[in-house]
Chain A
């Protein structure tokens, strides 16, 4: 049973470009969470999605950031017009069904903004 998959593992963007990060949850999981980790810090919650629904986006910056989890395909975290402060590791996690609290993490995407 493959774990949570994320791609790309490393992404380099110049200021002003767009970054798209993908997350495929574990097989049978329909809930996805995105977290951001700055160097030497803990993970910060960004958004919680179910298929075709955003359930909780209380941790998402109000501008430039968006997330989706379509009926088919991976979840996408999109960052428009990236700035140097967006450089971080972005982790997604998945859980199987509503009410389940255990989250399994992917390997992360390390975004570097030049």
Chain B
């Protein structure tokens, strides 16, 4: 099965700074690499995803980079805002199932 590790488990940044969260996985068959944002008591919301034939994808302040050889992918948030505060999960997998990381609590300090 897939083993997923996510680092760091907590991250505090000043508003306007950048945040980077890294996810490593073990299953070379994984071909889909999403990041979800979950606010307290809410559903996970897909914020960005990337597939194995692409190395980088950007959507405004959010970007994801993938290194399939090293089996890791990272979430980059630039110009952070207080509303970015939440728990972020990586969830590598395929159309059959996703394996979620343990989460990163991001706190953006005003």
Contact = CB atoms under 8 A, between A and B. Distances in A.
A51 B34 CA distance: 25
Contact of B96 (A42, A55, A105, A108): A55
B99 A45 contact: yes
B45 interface: yes
Contacts of B100: 35, 42-45
Nearest to B4: A42
Counting chain B residues whose Cβ lies within 8 A of the other chain, the interface size class is 20 to 34
Given A101-B32, A105-B44, A45 B95 contact: no
Contacts, number: 58
Interface string A44-62: 1100100000011011000
B34 A102 contact: yes
Nearest to B99: A45
A48 B103 contact: no
B43 A56 contact: no
A102 B96 contact: no
A33 B43 contact: no
B13 interface: no
Interface of B: 31-32, 34, 36, 42-46, 49, 51, 89, 91, 93-103
